[in-house]
Amino acid sequence: MRTVSTLILAAFLAAAARPCAVEKPSEASYAPGETAPPPDSSPYVLLVADEEDGVDFPQHFYTGYETLLTALDVEYNLWDHSESGEPDADDLAPYDVVIWVTGNSCGRPASDPVYGHSALSLAEEQTLRQWLATAGGRGLMLSGMWIAWNGIADADSEDQMPSTFFDWFVGLDYPGDNFTDWIDVDDDWSIEPTQSARLITEPYDIDWLSTENFPDQLESAVGWTEAHWTDPDGVHHHKAVIANEGYNWRTVLFACPLEAVSSETDRRDILDRVLVWFMEGEENVVNSTWGEIKAREW
């Protein structure tokens, strides 16, 4: 069973998401025929930094996501989970996109009576379900090596716990190898696109920054897979990234966290494709950078 050090519970303080100083692109920066993001939808993105649950010595990677969002000219707000506690439905309501980053936290399985369901609490799962389903065109990106392990893994029965959020919205089919055949990832590993990939378009080298290891291996039950975990011998293991979509929502789960992709350019390109996919309409596919996205047409 994977374990991490004992959690010193952080006090949950009531606080609003704090805005980050990223200027919204002006209309003048768009080429003729292109349309700036609708002004009443800005900021689109809420970045949730949730990296301190269930680990004594958390690593903080969320600033790297801030760097990427800034490079893409995306206006966003930051929600510091350790200061503001769990966001509720009203906190998420203004946003079209939520990026939830968990770092190396939450290494205990969901069946752990103390630390289970701490990457995403059951209340947070319910909040995200409500947020995804109540308005059109919303996208959720989950980035963390143990989000699935901490949310649905029953280490006693070596099986996947039922979860409407993970089963339906994430579309997760949790491989049994997560209980018996862990992968020990290092800088010689990579992720490689699957045949169904839309977001991971080429192989990417890994720079494994986390002090923890044995990340989740994923499969998709109702959506599709994006990338294989690939070892130094070129052998594919279970998936590192899966994606799913419903009538008016889209989700992607990175068990290979975005910060583990070695090149900043590659990280930026992956995030750009995720944001474009979240925000494009069913009838209006826009293959461009974030600044060229047109209004959604769900």
Asked whether the bond before 109 is cis by omega within 30 degrees of 0, the reply is: no
**Average pLDDT of span 256-266:** 97
Mean pLDDT of the chain: 82
C-beta separation of 54 from 120 below 8 A: no
Which residue ranges make up each domain of the chain? Answer: 18-292
Give 14 or 244, the one with higher predicted confidence.
Answer: 244
Nearest residue to 22 (alpha-carbon basis) of 87, 68, 84: 68
Q: What are phi and psi of 63, to 5 degrees?
A: -65, -30
Q: Does domain 18-292 have CATH number 3.40.50.880?
A: yes
What token pair was written down for 162? Answer: 């039922």
Give 271 or 22, the one with higher predicted confidence.
Answer: 271
d(CA 125, CA 187) in angstroms, rounded, equals 32
Tell me 288's DSSP state: S
pLDDT for the residue numbered 82: 79
**Average pLDDT of span 102-131:** 92
Residue 293 pLDDT exceeds 90: no
Range picked from 23-27, 210-214, 231-235 for highest mean pLDDT:
231-235
Q: What are phi and psi of 209, to 5 degrees?
A: -80, -25
44-48, 218-222, 267-271, 288-292: range with lowest mean pLDDT: 288-292
Q: How confident is the model at residue 286 (pLDDT cuts 50, 70, 90)?
A: very low
Other CB atoms closer than 10 Å to residue 69's CB: what's the count? 24
Give 290 or 186, the one with higher predicted confidence.
Answer: 186
Look up tokens 């993970």; give the residue: 166
Side-chain-side CA neighbours of residue 213 (13 Å)? 11
- Pairing relationship of beta strands 224-230 and 236-245 according to DSSP bridges: antiparallel
pLDDT for the residue numbered 105: 80
pLDDT in tens, 27-51: 333 233 333 333 344 568 999 998 7
Q: Which residues of 217-246 are buried (b: 16+ CB within 10 A; e: fewer)?
A: bbebeebbbbbbbbbeeeeebbbbbbbbbe
**Average pLDDT of span 161-169:** 97
pLDDT for the residue numbered 59: 77
What token pair was written down for 80? Answer: 């510091």
C-beta separation of 139 from 97 below 8 A: yes
Nearest residue to 250 (alpha-carbon basis) of 220, 228, 280: 280
What torsion, rounded to 10 degrees, do the Cα atoms 196, 201, 202, 208 define? -90
C-alpha radius of gyration, the chain, whole number: 18
Residue 89 one-letter amino acid? A
Q: Which residues of 24-51 are buried (b: 16+ CB within 10 A; e: fewer)?
A: ebeeeeeeeeeebbeeeebbbbbbbbbb
